[in-house]
Amino acid sequence: MSDATKDYRFAIQTSNISRKFGDFIAVDGIDLSINRGELFALLGPNGAGKTTTIKMLCCLLRPSSGTATIMGHDTQKDPIAVKQIIDLSPQETAIAEHLNAWENLSLMGRIHGFGKEEVKKRSEELLEMMGLTNRAKEQVRKYSGGMKRRLSIAMALVSDPQVLFLDEPTLGLDPQSRRGTWEHIAELKGEKTIVLTTHYLEEADNLADRIAIIDKGKIIALGTPDELKDSISDMQVMAIKAKNLTDDTVEGLRMIYPETREVVNGIEIKAKELNFNEIVDYLRSKGVVIESTSQKQITLDDVFLHLTGKELRE
C-alpha cells in the first residue's frame, strides 16, 4: 500500500491480504478499513481465518500477498513501529500462573520499558478496571477462567497500546463470566481501537460498532449489527416449540423451507414467505405436538445461516 493510498483516518487498513499454508488458503484477499477508536469484530466459526488475520496484523505472520498498515505503519516494512503501538490478548492466555496478578502486570510493564512507579500506577488502574484488586496478590493458578481472561486483557493494556487485539477473549467461559468480561471490554470502547475475534454471535452484537463476517478465509458481509440484520429484514422467522420431532420430519420441512433448523425444544424456520397453516398442518400430520409458536426477531445467527447455509457453531 503506497503513501498515496493510505488514509490516516483509519487505524487499520488492509489491501487484498492473503495467507496460504501450502495449498491451503487460510485468508483469501481481505480488504478492511477500521476507524480509529472503533470496536471492530471479526465473526466466524473456528478455522474461518480470524486468528490468522490477527497474527498478520500483529506482525506474527507474513502475508503470502497483499499489504496491511496499522496507524499508517506497514506491517511488513516497519514491524518494529507497529509492535510499539499495538498489543494482543491471545486466544491461549500467556499468563505465568505461579505469579500473582501484580507480578504478571509488572513483568509485562518492565518488558515494555516502563519504570517501576509508572508500572505500579498503571497496574493499579488496570486491576481496578478489571475487578481484580481484591485478588491481586493471589497466585493466578487459583483464578477462575474469567479472572484469567480479564488479567490477560489487563496485561495487553499495560503498554497503553493505540490498537488492541482481543483474540477470542471469552472462549470457554461460562455465560456469567462471559458477560462480566463484555462489561470490561465495553469500558475501553472509544479509548482504543479494538479488533475482536469471536464466534459468539451475541458477543459481536453487544460489543461491536461494526462486524465483518468471515467464512473460509473471505469476508462475506460487513456492516453494523443493525445493518447486517436489516440486510435480511424481508425474511420472516417462525419459532415453534414442539415435542416428538423426528429427523425425517425436519428434513421434510427443509424440502419446502431450506432454512429450517433445530433448536432447543423445537425448530426455527426462516423464509421470505411463511405459510403458517401449512407448517402447522404438516407437523401435526407427522404426530408432532406443538406447544407454542411465535414470530422471532432477526438475529446475527439468522444472518450467518442465511449467508453460509450453516450455523456458526458447526
Domain CATH for 65: 3.40.50.300
In terms of domains, do 287 and 263 share one? Answer: yes
In terms of domains, do 194 and 244 share one? Answer: no
In terms of domains, do 76 and 197 share one? Answer: yes
In terms of domains, do 222 and 238 share one? Answer: no
CA of 243: how far to CAs of 79, 95, 246, 288, 290, in Å?
Answer: 58, 47, 9, 6, 7
Q: Over the range 239-265, which residues count as b (16 or more CB within 10 Å of their CB) and which as e?
A: bbebeebeeebbeebeeebebbbeeee
Per-residue pLDDT, 4: 42
**Domain end among 227, 251, 279:** 227
Is 4 inside any structural domain? no
**Domain end among 188, 212, 227:** 227
In terms of domains, do 221 and 239 share one? Answer: no
In terms of domains, do 248 and 194 share one? Answer: no
In terms of domains, do 108 and 242 share one? Answer: no
In terms of domains, do 48 and 177 share one? Answer: yes
Per-residue pLDDT, 60: 93
In terms of domains, do 141 and 238 share one? Answer: no
Per-residue pLDDT, 290: 93
CA distance 272 to 314: 24
Is 306 inside any structural domain? no
Count the domains in the chain.
2
Is 90 inside any structural domain? yes
Q: If the chain, 314 residues long, is cut into consecutive pieces of 10 residues, what is the mean pLDDT of each piece? A: 57 96 95 95 89 94 96 95 92 84 90 86 89 91 89 90 92 84 87 91 92 93 93 87 92 91 89 89 92 87 80 56
Is 310 inside any structural domain? no
In terms of domains, do 29 and 96 share one? Answer: yes
Is 2 inside any structural domain? no
Per-residue pLDDT, 6: 52
**Domain end among 227, 253, 271:** 227
Ramachandran angles phi, psi of 15, nearest 5°: -130, 110
Cβ-contact 43, 212 below 8 angstroms: yes
Range of the domain at 50: 10-227
Per-residue pLDDT, 2: 47
In terms of domains, do 269 and 285 share one? Answer: yes
Is 97 inside any structural domain? yes
Per-residue pLDDT, 19: 97
Domain CATH for 244: 3.30.70.980
Cβ-contact 49, 61 below 8 angstroms: no
